[in-house]
């Protein structure tokens, strides 16, 4: 197996992981935005911040997945998939620029959910 094949396998695993994060985040957003749970967030602002964190995570996850095919075209076997720059939209974009915010915002959403609902735990 040569270096290009290894990078393509790594990119495939990255794409699969990004899909799992996206599906999980969409499900979490649906759960949190359910209106009948709204009164159970204390303080109430945690629900809004949770929803916005998850929604922004979804946005960055979609942008991450949109960049994957462009990165696959540029793989030459000499660098990490995270270091490959795709020059589009007048910018040099890397996977890291989108996957890191997606993950951080997802974790923030989980934290806001836990903070807003933890008053229910005795």
Q: For the segment 34-68, what is each residue's pLDDT rounded down to a tens digit?
A: 867 677 888 889 999 999 999 999 999 999 999 99
Quick check: is 101 in a domain? Answer: yes
So what's the pLDDT on residue 58? 98
Quick check: is 20 in a domain? Answer: no
So what's the pLDDT on residue 118? 87
**DSSP 8-state assignment for residue 27:** H
So what's the pLDDT on residue 92? 87
Q: Cα separations (Å) of 64 from 42, 50, 67, 70?
A: 33, 21, 5, 11
Express each pLDDT in 86-106 by its tens digit.
887 778 889 999 999 999 999
Domain membership of residue 80 as a residue range: 1-7+42-122
Around 61, how many Cα atoms within 13 Å sit in the side-chain half-sphere?
23
Quick check: is 46 in a domain? Answer: yes
Q: pTM above 0.75?
A: yes
Q: Cα separations (Å) of 56 from 1, 29, 30, 90?
A: 38, 10, 14, 23
| Cβ proximity of 82 and 10 under 8 Å | no
Average pLDDT of span 8-37: 92
Quick check: is 23 in a domain? Answer: no
**DSSP 8-state assignment for residue 43:** S
Query: What domain count does the chain have?
Result: 1
Q: Which residues contact 2 (CB under 8 A, 6 or more apart)?
A: 77
So what's the pLDDT on residue 37? 64
So what's the pLDDT on residue 42? 86
């Amino acid at each position: 197996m040569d270096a290009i094949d290894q990078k393509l396998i790594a990119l495939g695993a990255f794409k699969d992981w990004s899909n799992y994060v996206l599906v999980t985040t969409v499900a979490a957003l649906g759960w949190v935005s359910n209106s009948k749970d709204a009164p159970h967030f204390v303080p109430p602002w945690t629900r809004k911040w949770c929803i916005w964190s998850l929604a922004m995570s979804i946005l960055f996850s979609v942008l991450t997945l949109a960049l994957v095919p462009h990165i696959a075209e540029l793989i030459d076997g000499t660098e990490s998939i995270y270091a490959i720059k795709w020059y589009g939209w007048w910018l040099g974009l890397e996977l890291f620029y989108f996957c890191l915010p997606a993950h951080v915002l997802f974790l923030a959403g989980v934290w806001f959910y836990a903070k807003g609902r933890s008053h229910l735990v005795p």
